[in-house]
Amino acid sequence: MEENIATDCIVIDDHEQGYDLDLFCIPKHYIEDLERVYIPHGLIMDRTERLARDIMKDMGGHHIVALCVLKGGYKFFADLLDYIKALNRNSDRSIPMTVDFIRLKSYYNDQSTGDIKVIGGDDLSSLAGKNVLIVEDIIDTGKTMRTLLAMLKNYNPQMVKVVSLLVKRTPRSVGYRPDYIGFEVPDKFVVGYALDYNEYFRDLNHICVINENGKLKYKA
Ligand code: 5GP
Ligand code: MG
């Protein structure tokens, strides 16, 4: 029997091989450190354009505060907001959007520690009564987002929605699923498009899988 599962994102399955590095432009300093190109930059952009439309459809009635989770979310945040701005300037219905930033840290090498710290950003008391859109790079176990959502509640926002570019399929998941998702990916450590490995690989356009050489070279 064919299963009829509604898809809310692009699902990249476990057998997906990605693309050979030689088929794309990769910075020379990373060529030895990556396995494959997993999600090409163009596909990220196309999916982001659609997420912008879905978000505006749901949240476009009131002032949105877009909250960027640094550092990994900054590329997705910038591109998503560009698409939302394009919708706003080409439509009869448009809303003001303001931006806030928060910096969290939870990872050591390629392991989620579950110990989440706010290490900088804006004063969150300005979120009271606002419609907040949290913009995150990737949900792995979901612990970071659960913690952030619990924290934000104390500031009494009117509404909180979460958009994450990536969600990992992992047995370590706490079961959290964001409101909007770009891609669901296998349980592998990915880098690029602002996602880092100990601060490296943010300067890479495509989302790629890092190899053992890369893990060793940039180990903390
Ligand atoms: P969680 O608390 O959901 O386990 O982890 C969330 C955070 O860990 C993400 O926001 C991201 O910063 C980092 N993270 C999780 N998986 C990956 C990954 O595959 N690659 C990179 N670069 N960061 C990840
Ligand atoms: Mg993050």
Question: Where do the H-state alpha helices sit in 90-203?
Answer: 143-153
Residue 123 designated active-site: no
Question: Does residue 212 sit within a domain?
Answer: no
Q: In whole angstroms, give the CA distance from residue 55 to residue 78.
A: 15
Instruction: Please report the pLDDT score of residue 123 as a whole number.
Output: 79
Of 169, 165, 182, give the one whose Cα is nearest residue 8: 182
159-168/180-185 β-pairing: parallel
Question: Does residue 206 sit within a domain?
Answer: no
Domain hosting 137: range is 45-185
Instruction: Please report the pLDDT score of residue 114 as a whole number.
Output: 62
For residue 29, the Cα-to-chain-centroid distance in whole angstroms is 24
Mean pLDDT by 10-residue block, N- to C-terminus, for the chain (220 residues)?
A: 67 94 97 96 98 93 92 95 94 88 76 70 85 96 92 93 97 95 96 95 96 94
Please count the other Cβ atoms lying within 10 Å of the Cβ belonging to residue 122.
15
The pTM for the full model equals 0.92
How many structural domains compose the chain? 1
CA of 211 to the centre of ligand 1 (A): 17
Q: Which atom of ligand 1 is nearest to the CA of 189?
A: 19
Q: Own/partner pairs for 103-112, CB < 8 Å, 24+ apart?
A: 103/69, 103/70, 103/71, 104/69, 104/70, 104/144, 104/148, 106/143, 106/144, 108/220, 109/197, 109/198, 109/215, 109/219, 109/220, 110/189, 110/197, 110/210, 110/215, 112/140, 112/141, 112/143, 112/144, 112/172
Q: Which atom of ligand 1 is nearest to the CA of 185?
A: 19
Question: Does residue 31 sit within a domain?
Answer: no
Question: Does residue 93 sit within a domain?
Answer: yes
Question: Does residue 209 sit within a domain?
Answer: no
Residue 114 near residue 141 (C-beta atoms within 8 A): yes
CA of 71 to the centre of ligand 2 (A): 7
Pocket test for ligand 1, best of 195, 202, 209 (most atoms within 8 A of CB): 195
Instruction: Please report the pLDDT score of residue 1 as a whole number.
Output: 44
CA of 149 to the centre of ligand 2 (A): 14
Structure tokens at 53: 């439309």
Question: Does residue 131 sit within a domain?
Answer: yes
Question: Does residue 198 sit within a domain?
Answer: no
User: The domain that contains 73 carries what CATH number?
Assistant: 3.40.50.2020
**Which one of the listed residues 22, 100, 140, 187 is annotated catalytic?**
140
Which 8-state DSSP code applies to residue 197? B
Q: Which atom of ligand 1 is nearest to the CA of 140?
A: 3
Question: Does residue 117 sit within a domain?
Answer: yes
Instruction: Please report the pLDDT score of residue 117 as a whole number.
Output: 75
Which amino acids bring their CB within 6 angstroms of ligand 1? 72, 106-107, 112, 136-144, 168, 189-191, 195-197
Contacts of 2 (CB under 8 A, 6+ apart): none
